[in-house]
Structure 1
């Protein structure tokens, strides 16, 4: 998947040997890569993306599941979340087919947006069909989905206490051998060093953080984030630096963290509160950062707003 993974676990009497367990995990990673990668030309997703408008193709059930989930998030957010923004990512220099970072013209953005939108997609049985020459990018939810798939397989193999990380999407269950919970740190949104913003104790929950501080470029003194607003075809420009979502489903946490990042500090927080999400927002100010947690997050982890 072009990134990293790690698994820490407590072995039981019937737990497979480490090499066997590693093989199980890496088989799932390889399966997702074959199906959903935009970086390899032979993946199911890449083959679909190359098809012309009016085409259909049989797709793996997992891809169809993620398309349905993405469509739901798109509807729920009035289009703030969109899996079909691959042409815009490439245009701005953040996609797998990019040729360097750049600020495109309004005409270029309009041309790319003409092939963006869930309305051009539909599922017909086992086939995914496109009415326009759209290209899908599942990177905003594929890692969260993969974490949940691996977690389910771990349970089947008798592993009930673990901390799993796939490309930065996390899930933990059970306790460590000393009886203490697994703890993870929410990283402060700084691009100069790694600093923990807050530490969470997890048991049966997935965690996803989206931010603008790792993948961006600057031009003429302005920062352009890799997080794009599909409704304008350009990077987000508000002051929300990062948002973390905690959910029993890492897939949901992954997608929702992206959705809230696009919506920004006001609209995103209102959405999260209305939906009852456990979310933690970090915004930039003229003097540093300020944090804000939803009521659901405070109930679970205790985090009032602070400077």
Structure 2
């Protein structure tokens, strides 16, 4: 169920609107400024419909989603999918190829084997045996974008947790753009996208969360205009296996969860889908290789690593000198 509030702005004949609702196991939020004659409830309904559609297309937790149907399909069978899912699959393969398989949406089997999939804690309680590195998806997944269909050339379980929320944020942005709205902030969980500025003319301020398990605290604030930001970290979703703390992020190159010193990676990009996917890929690459790749690609990325009982931040681009 969505919650919406409207505040009239003094002497401006504008409405400052805020709405939120459930999606993808968390909540989406949107704040936007519209003229007094705007039909706010129609805009809110379109926002809710957009993220509901993405969830129905890309969820591993919904048995009737496009993604779940694709995962159940036999190899070499064409599966009709939405244009959104085909687009996200194609972009995922591109980023996987560019990052040397550090981003691979074929980790669904690993995610489930390590107890982070839909089965959750009812899954395995110890370290799984026989976990293998994930093959690059170039030869395994064929995408017919104009025909809106996909087929697998082999058995692979797809998981879009590293890009779907970001794409959902982009869909929220597209709704507001279609309504001709020029100032907004939208987000799903910690993935955010902004355009324009606040009603008072100041830029949107985004808090960067400290990678701490037991509390939510900001380690800094940045101001953005017409950009997206996403963070991948090991401090929210984890479990203990065989006495060791295991991150939910899988390294497709090894077939095992990450156990490195990187606590979080934040990326700023034009689209939130890219920011989301690159944050995951750079986390997998690690502090040094990740920064090297970010510099090579011109990415704005902030790496937070653990040092003893504290943290150290280092970044590229916008975050250089952090």
TM superposition score normalised by structure 2: 0.87
Residue 297 in 1 paired to residue 322 in 2? no
Shift of 1:64: 0.9
Partner of 2:38: 15
Q: How does 1:37-116 map to 2 (within 5 A)?
A: 37-98=59-120, 99-100=122-123, 102-107=125-130, 109-110=131-132
- Matched-pair contact (CA < 8 Å) for 2:81–2:149: yes
Question: Deviations for 1:141-190, whole angstroms, at most 9, x for unmatched residues?
Answer: 11111211221220221221111111321011111121111101010100
- The alignment partner of 1:198 has SS state of strand
- Matched-pair contact (CA < 8 Å) for 1:85–1:116: no
The number of residue pairs the alignment matches comes to 296
Partner of 1:166: 188
Partner of 1:225: 247
CA distance in structure 2 between the partners assigned to 1:148 and 1:249 by the alignment:
7
Which of 140, 150, 153 is equivalent to 1:120?
140
**Structure 2 unaligned runs (5+)?**
1-23
- Taking only aligned residues, the RMSD between alpha carbons, in angstroms, comes to 1.7
Cα–Cα, structure 1 residues 10 and 51, in superposed 2: closer, same or farther, change >3 Å? same
Shift of 1:103: 3.4
Shift of 1:126: 2.8
CA distance in structure 2 between the partners assigned to 1:155 and 1:54 by the alignment:
38
- Matched-pair contact (CA < 8 Å) for 1:115–1:134: no
Which of 247, 252, 267 is equivalent to 2:274?
252
Partner of 2:264: 242
Shift of 1:15: 3.0
Shift of 1:118: 4.4
- Matched-pair contact (CA < 8 Å) for 1:279–1:293: yes
Cα–Cα, structure 1 residues 280 and 73, in superposed 2: closer, same or farther, change >3 Å? same
- Matched-pair contact (CA < 8 Å) for 2:107–2:134: no
Which of 36, 52, 57 is equivalent to 1:30?
52
- Matched-pair contact (CA < 8 Å) for 1:54–1:129: yes
Which stretch of the first structure deviates more once superposed, 206-215 or 71-80? 71-80
CA distance in structure 1 between the partners assigned to 2:210 and 2:298 by the alignment:
24
Question: Deviations for 1:270-299, whole angstroms, at most 9, x for unmatched residues?
Answer: 1111111011110001141000011x114x
Cα–Cα, structure 1 residues 255 and 14, in superposed 2: closer, same or farther, change >3 Å? farther
Cα–Cα, structure 1 residues 47 and 72, in superposed 2: closer, same or farther, change >3 Å? same
CA distance in structure 2 between the partners assigned to 1:144 and 1:114 by the alignment:
23
- Matched-pair contact (CA < 8 Å) for 1:51–1:133: no
- Matched-pair contact (CA < 8 Å) for 1:171–1:206: yes
Partner of 1:216: 238
Q: Larger helix proportion, structure 1 or 2?
A: 1
- Matched-pair contact (CA < 8 Å) for 1:182–1:202: yes
Partner of 2:198: 176
CA distance in structure 2 between the partners assigned to 1:180 and 1:115 by the alignment:
47
CA distance in structure 2 between the partners assigned to 1:116 and 1:97 by the alignment:
25
Shift of 1:115: 7.9
Shift of 1:218: 2.1
Instruction: Name segments (4+ residues, structure 1) moved above 6 Å.
Output: none
CA distance in structure 2 between the partners assigned to 1:219 and 1:2 by the alignment:
24
TM superposition score normalised by structure 1: 0.91
Q: Larger strand proportion, structure 1 or 2?
A: 2
Shift of 1:114: 7.2
Shift of 1:27: 0.6
Cα–Cα, structure 1 residues 60 and 179, in superposed 2: closer, same or farther, change >3 Å? same
